[in-house]
Amino acid sequence: MSAPVSRVRRALPAVRGALDAASTWQVFGAVAGPLLVLYLATASYGLPQSPDPVATALPAWQLAQHGTIALDEYAGENPWLVETGDRVVSNRQPGVIAWGVPFYLLIPTTSGDEPPMAPAGAAGAVAAALAMGVLALVLRRLIAPAAAMAGALVAGLATATWTVSADGLWPHGPTQLWLALGMLASAAGHHARSGLAWAAALLTRPNAAVVAAVTGLYASWRQRSVRPAMLVGAVSGAGLLALIAYNAVVFDAPSISGGYPSDFTDRLAGMSLRTYGENVLGTLVSPGRGILVLSPFLLLLVPGLRAGWRAAPDWARGSALAGLLYLALHLRMNRFWGGTNFFSYRYPLESLTLAAPLLVLAWREWTARTARRRRWLATAVAASIGMHALGAVYFTAPLEPRSPWTEPAILPVAADAGPLAVGAVLLAVVGVWFAAGRAGG
């Protein structure tokens, strides 16, 4: 073993010991701080972008500048601007619009006719960084603080949390934050507080209502008490009523879907089994949007899910089940690829957040058991981070749609990055492989 590697191995126990002694705020800051700096450096601050974050930035800016959500002057400029009554509004959900308003109030902008996108980019970066910081606290309930910090950093760098949630004013970042806070409350047995977090999540992403339902009912079943379900249901139900009231005022009809086209809800009953199967398969393995293709480290955790489930506390099991049902419902209503003009995947992000406790237990109970598995996991994590780093830095929104089945997401990004950047990523992955092998030996 070389001298540098030997010195590193001797120093690791002291470093790990210092990290394991970190306080709650230190654990949170060690994850959220560096990620915030990185996210702010790589977020999108201009156009073109996907229509989704633009349709959120517009009403957030309009509220901050003029105190209204009416967007009549932008009619026809964005597919998610809809006509309702005598005005044009965005069909984005109130939770994510509200998240963007403070950034448009605090960050100096011009009061011209076009909304600047910089505050929206900052809003996404802050939400994603905070979500990963809270996730570290959630994971600390299950594993040592040093491992929890590492796990949250992997979630923040090796998944589309970096390239989507932290890139702009998508609903995913704020929703991930509320879900992480909900899990933290659930882990402490605070059902009313978790209900409050689920309420914020469903105001941002309405199908998160299934998270409240599953976690509350599962906790009641396991505890043989109706109290958890009643507390979660009462508080999260208030959020659901607030969403319905918002839609009644803005879209002239009390509903959960608001300004979304009816075909989203129609697919719940009308989607064919073949189309649904393609959605599930595409979510997993399509070259353009597959979570196992773009975050291959997850493959090294799958074999440990059974052992992780056996070791998981009830709140972690409930969260994982909620995440599974959340994704199953979403894939029933929508196309798995989620549109264009972004790198990697996006619909599984909330489910991955909810499954994170189970995934770290799968790591602890199976993947971390042998040096060979640890080596493969470290290499897969490096590859996942490398792909998302290229996407975060070099991806530019295309003007033409592309097929997630025929064009791997990494190829156009690698072409834009050039051989030096791609070579640096490959060199880092190979370096991790050999370093992990020496550390295991």
pLDDT digits (tens, 9 = 90+) for 152-208: 999 999 999 999 999 999 999 999 999 999 999 999 999 999 999 999 999 999 999
Tell me how far apart the alpha carbons of residues 330 and 228 are, in angstroms, rounded to a whole number.
Answer: 25
Per-state percent for the chain, helix, strand, coil, to nearest 5: 70, 0, 25
Beta-carbon contacts of residue 46 (< 8 Å; ≥ 6 apart): 117, 118
- What does the pLDDT read at residue 1? 47
More confident residue, 333 or 38: 38
Helix axes 314-333, 172-187, angle to 10 degrees: 150
Query: Prior bond to 398 cis, omega within 30?
Result: no
Report pLDDT digits (tens) over 80-124.
999 988 899 999 999 999 999 999 999 877 656 677 899 999 999
Tell me how far apart the alpha carbons of residues 274 and 299 are, in angstroms, rounded to a whole number.
Answer: 25
Q: Torsion-angle region of residue 224: left (phi > 0), alpha (psi -120 to 50) or beta?
A: left
Per-domain residue ranges for the chain? 3-440
Q: What percent of the chain has pLDDT over 70?
A: 93
DSSP string, 144-183: -HHHHHHHHHHHHHSSHIIIIITTSS-SHHHHHHHHHHHH
- What does the pLDDT read at residue 277? 94
pLDDT tops 80 at residue 10 = no
| Confidence tier at 9 by pLDDT (50, 70, 90) | low
More confident residue, 315 or 400: 315
> In terms of Cα–Cα distance, which of 246, 314, 221, 316 is closest to 95?
246
What's the token pair of residue 173? 């970042």
Cβ contact 81:58 at 8 Å: yes
| Cα distances (Å, whole numbers) of residue 17 to 253, 324, 400, 421 | 57, 35, 51, 35
pLDDT tops 60 at residue 8 = no
- What does the pLDDT read at residue 3? 55
Cβ contact 104:119 at 8 Å: yes
| Confidence tier at 17 by pLDDT (50, 70, 90) | confident
3-state DSSP assignment of residue 248: helix
- Which contiguous run of DSSP H or E holds residue 82? strand 81-84
Beta-carbon contacts of residue 341 (< 8 Å; ≥ 6 apart): 48, 49, 50, 51, 397, 398
What single-letter amino acid sits at 295?
Answer: S
- What does the pLDDT read at residue 48? 86
Tell me how far apart the alpha carbons of residues 26 and 433 are, in angstroms, rounded to a whole number.
Answer: 30
Report pLDDT digits (tens) over 379-401.
999 999 999 999 999 998 775 66
- What does the pLDDT read at residue 396? 85
Q: Facing residues of 84 across strands?
A: 87
- What does the pLDDT read at residue 403? 87
- Which contiguous run of DSSP H or E holds residue 83? strand 81-84
Tell me how far apart the alpha carbons of residues 318 and 358 are, in angstroms, rounded to a whole number.
Answer: 10
Residue 4 is classified by DSSP as: H
How high does pLDDT run on average in the chain?
92
